[in-house]
Structure 1
Amino acid sequence: MNPSEDLIQKCLVEGQVKFYDYTRFRDIELIGEGGYGKVYRATFKDNEITVALKSFKGNNVSIKEIVNELKLHCRVDMHSNIIRLHGATKNEDKQNLSFTHYMFVLEYADSGTLRSYLRNNFKYLSWYDKINFALQIASSIKCLHVEGIIHRDLHSNNILVHQKNIKLTDFGLSRRLDEATNSNQKFGGIIPYIDPQSFEGSRRGNKIFKFNKKSDIYSIGILMWEISSGYTPFKDVSEPYQPASLLLILKMVFEKTMSKEPRLNILRSIQKLY
């Protein structure tokens, strides 16, 4: 076993993550691909449940980043609006060396990303549905913040929908609070969702951002706008669509972002809309 695999193996033991032999999965089908790697849908032979297998590109994702994601995910795995981490597996296929052999075994979300869900189902959503989505996103981020974790990469392609419920995913860029606020980080996420106050400047053509809890709260506000309108952020839309109560919540989100001590009391305000 090489040093990189030792790190992951140590994390599996310390984090009490279950390891599954790759042969226990069948009907493995590619369903998504990005800069980080690939996601497959598979059937777990033991009980016939559908799961997602997440692989990582060796050149784009370091072993430390994989271990970081695994450790952070274990700490928030109990929340119903955070995608469940079942464990890990290892693909022994030596032919594709551009991918690490370890894969996460994750809960499968049957309705895809929030962005695609809004695109395909927006006209069928009631305001109750939209407010429920907003509440679940805020609740999942509150769970992260209580655990001292900042997500740092909140956008509608990093949130999944399963049976009309939100499932937060992708902790690849997440950090412990002390790491995210005390050091500058290069960020490759989606700019419209990022708090402009996080921008620290540029270095060698790369934008540098510094994140804290307010950064996540700002992103929640942008996501609430997207859920209420059905449009991606900052799209030119002239027709009105938000009820006055939602506008008040959005106003509060941005006020909290600007404050020195942000708290996720947005949850209480959203609940009042029920």
Structure 2
Amino acid sequence: MEFDYEKLVSATDGFSPSRLIGKGSHGYVYEGLLHEEHNRVVAIKTPSLSLSRSSQPSSPLITKTEQMKKLEDEIKIMSSLPYNPHVLTFLGHAEKRLMVVEYMPNGSLHQLLHVSSSATPPRPTWLKRIEIALKIARAVHFLHEQGILHRDIKSDNILFDSSWEPKLADFGLAVDLVAEKKAPTAPAGTIGYLDPSYTSPEKLSAKTDVYSYGVVLLEIVSCRKAIDVSRSPASIVDWAVPLIEEGKIGEICGGGGGGGSGVFVETNLRLLRMAARCVSSDVESRPSSGEIAAEMVACLTEPVRRSLPLWISFFRGVVKLKRRKKRLRERMTWPGQTCRVR
């Protein structure tokens, strides 16, 4: 959909700082109010008004022209994608200078896991965390099926809508594999999530995204940041993988939510083994995004399956009690007289 540029400027009060809600890899995101669409709230992305750096601290400054080109590329990729419930919905653009996407009012996964305040809800339950991991795995698999690599999968780019449904966002570094082969781009990403094996354009593959997803999965399980300079080792991968190899699963699972209970032990083991495979230094041994999604489904259903016998036993007990009461009523009921058994 093509939006009128001036109406989008008006929707953000002229890109007022009070409307700024986030910063992407190459632009700013503002909350916009579309009066002509019944005051619909949307998110509007524009190139930043000053020079900026990419996601890598060591990268050179990005000029305004380069930011415009990146935004155009992002619009091209997002507009080519069919709707997917686990990917941020593209709504349109204005002269390829502004991009309009759905508004996500409940912040990011990074905030949910790592930012504690009165305005932030408690960390999600263990099953909810697995559900989030599954939905993002499906988002990654969807992109790979479309021939798109995200290149910047991280907890900051996983946003929640009004129903607390997670969606993968910020396609500022995303590339189309077909176009990438014709005109390769330099490696890019965020330190802590960036695949160490991705050192040159020709080494880019779907397994690059898989590595980043593995880091997010470790974040979800441990509630530890991808990079935490106050700890040693600072990298979540360097910290978690040795513990997984030593079988010290309990030292990784954190943040409460019931993850330490007995019914989740097998699930935790499967989750962490999958995460370790995702961040393996052996790129070929990493799972595909489809395999990850299938394993997340298994992890989500495992606790339910394990607890099912308890519910079956409870249900059978209730049925037996009702039958016993019914037989007792029949024995104690005489012609012209009834006796109620409570």
Given the two structures, how large is their TM-score scaled by the length of structure 2? Answer: 0.62
Q: Which runs of 5+ in 2 are unaligned?
A: 14-18, 50-62, 232-238, 241-250, 255-267, 301-342
Equivalent position of 1:14 in the other structure: none
Equivalent position of 2:186 in the other structure: 186
Alignment check: 8 A CA contact 1:76 1:143 kept: no
Find the aligned partners of 1:230 and 1:263 in 2 and give their Cα distance.
22
- Residue of 278, 288, 291 corresponding to 1:265: 291
- Residue of 99, 105, 130 corresponding to 1:104: 99
Offset from partner CA, 1:139-169 (integer Å, 9 cap, x none): 1111111111111111122221223221211
Q: Which runs of 5+ in 1 are unaligned?
A: 1-16, 91-100, 201-207
Q: Call closer, same or farther: CA 1:89–1:139 in 2, change over 3 Å.
A: same
Alignment check: 8 A CA contact 1:86 1:106 kept: yes
Equivalent residues in 2 for 1:43-192 (5 A)?
Answer: 43-45=33-35, 46-57=37-48, 59-60=63-64, 61-89=66-94, 102-120=97-115, 123-162=122-161, 163-180=163-180, 185-192=185-192
Find the aligned partners of 1:43 and 1:189 in 2 and give their Cα distance.
31
Query: Looking at CA atoms only, which structure, 1 or 2, has the larger radius of gyration?
Result: 2
What SS does structure 1 have at the residue aligned with 2:270?
helix
Q: Call closer, same or farther: CA 1:189–1:102 in 2, change over 3 Å.
A: same
Given the two structures, how large is their TM-score scaled by the length of structure 1? Answer: 0.76
Equivalent position of 1:205 in the other structure: none
Alignment check: 8 A CA contact 1:198 1:211 kept: yes
- Residue of 42, 52, 55 corresponding to 2:32: 42
What SS does structure 2 have at the residue aligned with 1:191?
coil
Find the aligned partners of 1:102 and 1:226 in 2 and give their Cα distance.
35
What SS does structure 1 have at the residue aligned with 2:299?
coil
Offset from partner CA, 1:21-75 (integer Å, 9 cap, x none): 5336546412224562221112121222211111013724344322221111012
Matched, 1:224 2:208: no
Quote how far apart the aligned CAs of 1:111 are. 1.4
Find the aligned partners of 1:232 and 1:86 in 2 and give their Cα distance.
32
Find the aligned partners of 1:83 and 1:127 in 2 and give their Cα distance.
24
Equivalent position of 1:96 in the other structure: none
Alignment check: 8 A CA contact 1:185 1:209 kept: no
Q: Call closer, same or farther: CA 1:183–1:103 in 2, change over 3 Å.
A: closer
Counterpart amino acid of 1:134?
A
Point out the more displaced range, 147-156 or 184-193.
184-193
Q: Call closer, same or farther: CA 1:215–1:34 in 2, change over 3 Å.
A: closer
Q: How many residues align?
A: 241
Counterpart amino acid of 1:148?
G
Q: Call closer, same or farther: CA 1:194–1:51 in 2, change over 3 Å.
A: same
Equivalent position of 1:10 in the other structure: none
- Residue of 241, 249, 254 corresponding to 2:274: 249
* More strand per residue: 1
Offset from partner CA, 1:193-243 (integer Å, 9 cap, x none): 11211124xxxxxxx784110000111110001111111125447943172
Find the aligned partners of 2:40 and 2:185 in 1 and give their Cα distance.
38
